[in-house]
């Protein structure tokens, strides 16, 4: 079985494709044949050691596949069921993967393998950000960073459907049009404009209800600055670097702000939470609240290139990997 392993933390060069034997599923586990694998920025955090994992290790959290074998005491699924997942145990970059049954969600008819492998992690992330971390409501003014990215393709149109006013930031001229297509009412290119000044031109000083910030270090101070009194800072990622220190007096107390640093794990602790969130995501896909457009497709042998493209900001939407990629699918 082909799989991707890392033996040390580092650049994309540490990603190694290997052929290994896979074991049998144990109690409450299933063996899944992966049909499409999601490539996510969090995978780079695991690869670099920003989010440390025991080594050696597989990599990848998200995939859609078909159950080939079930272990003892499995009650939730059967052989032939199509499922997706977006959580530990790590190792989704693989032809096959063994997963606990309680970490899986059923994929409904009408949602393709590749879409399911894109929206399980990113879709559930968008769901908890918009509906639970800060329950967005009609008329809210939102600042969302990296609006042309894979998550932005889901979160921005979904927020738009709620009735929020969305200001999106991007890092290039090309991405401005993508962010507009994704549902942003206003787009700021932070490479040639000061996003704080531009936000204030749109909504006034201290005019933002909530900032959804997955960029981190480069945008943190400015994000705090544009929030209104008692606004909400939702810092859910750190693509530009980790914010190590928060000065309560400066960052929080000055405007009585609310601050949260959530992750998908915090919002899918109970299986009922996972199932409800996944259902909302798949229902949103089927009802057209957002449309998934795959930015690029890779084979498992091209995973190094996939990570280079991801970290180089070359992708303008979700990316997936296949265990066997045909020439016409690239």
What is the pTM for the complete model shown? Answer: 0.90
Residue 270 within a domain:
no
Residue 250 within a domain:
yes
Residue 281 within a domain:
no
Instruction: Compute the radius of gyration of the chain from its Cα atoms.
Output: 20
**Which residue range forms the structural domain that includes residue 186?**
123-265
Asked whether 261 and 243 are in contact (CB, 8 A), the reply is no
Q: What is the pLDDT of residue 324?
A: 55
Give the count of alpha carbons within 13 A of 105, CB side only: 32
Q: Do 36 and 21 share a structural domain?
A: yes
Residue 279 within a domain:
no
Q: What is the pLDDT of residue 186?
A: 97
Structural domain count, the chain: 2
Asked whether 62 and 89 are in contact (CB, 8 A), the reply is no
Q: What is the pLDDT of residue 30?
A: 98
Q: Do 65 and 31 share a structural domain?
A: yes
Q: Do 158 and 51 share a structural domain?
A: no
Nearest C-alpha neighbor of 212 from the set 270, 261, 171: 261
Q: What is the pLDDT of residue 86?
A: 95
Residue 172 within a domain:
yes
Helix, strand, coil % in the chain, rounded to nearest 5: 35, 25, 40
Residue 324 within a domain:
yes
Q: Do 253 and 146 share a structural domain?
A: yes
Chain segment 97-153, per-residue pLDDT in tens: 999 999 999 999 999 999 999 999 999 999 999 999 999 999 999 999 999 988 999
Q: Do 246 and 208 share a structural domain?
A: yes
DSSP 8-state class, residue 327? G
Q: Do 58 and 15 share a structural domain?
A: yes
Q: Do 63 and 170 share a structural domain?
A: no
Intervals of the chain under pLDDT 70: 240, 323-330
Q: Do 60 and 31 share a structural domain?
A: yes
Helix (H) or strand (E) holding 253: none
Q: Which CATH number fits the domain that encloses residue 140?
A: 3.40.50.720
């Amino acid at each position: 079985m082909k799989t991707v392993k890392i033996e040390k933390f580092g650049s994309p060069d540490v990603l190694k494709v290997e052929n290994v034997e896979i074991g049998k599923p144990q109690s409450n586990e299933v063996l899944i044949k992966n049909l499409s694998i999601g490539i996510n920025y969090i995978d780079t955090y695991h690869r670099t050691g920003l989010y440390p994992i025991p080594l050696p290790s597989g990599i990848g959290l998200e995939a859609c596949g078909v159950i080939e074998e079930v272990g003892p005491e499995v009650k939730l699924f059967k052989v032939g069921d199509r499922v997706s997942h977006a959580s530990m145990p790590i190792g989704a970059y693989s032809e096959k993967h063994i997963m606990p049954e309680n970490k899986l969600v059923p994929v409904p008819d009408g949602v393709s393998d590749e879409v399911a492998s894109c929206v399980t992690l990113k879709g559930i992330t968008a769901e908890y950000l918009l509906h639970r971390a800060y329950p967005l409501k009609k008329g809210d003014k939102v600042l969302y960073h990296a609006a042309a990215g894979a998550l932005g393709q889901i979160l921005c149109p979904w927020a738009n459907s709620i009735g929020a006013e969305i200001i999106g930031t991007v890092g290039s001229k090309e991405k401005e049009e993508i962010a507009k297509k994704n549902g942003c009412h206003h787009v700021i290119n932070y490479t040639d404009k000061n996003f704080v000044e531009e936000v204030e031109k749109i909504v006034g000083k201290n005019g933002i209800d909530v900032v959804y910030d997955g960029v981190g270090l480069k945008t943190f101070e400015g994000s705090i600055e544009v929030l209104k009194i008692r606004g909400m800072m939702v810092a859910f990622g750190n693509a530009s670097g980790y914010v190590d220190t928060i000065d309560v007096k400066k960052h929080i107390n000055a405007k009585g702000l609310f601050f949260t640093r959530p992750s998908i794990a915090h919002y899918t602790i109970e299986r009922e939470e996972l199932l409800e969130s996944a259902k909302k995501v798949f229902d949103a896909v089927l009802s057209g609240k957002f449309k998934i457009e795959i930015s690029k497709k890779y084979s498992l042998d091209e995973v190094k290139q996939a990570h280079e493209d991801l970290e180089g900001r070359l992708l303008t939407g979700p990316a997936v990997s296949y265990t066997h990629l045909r020439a016409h699918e690239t």
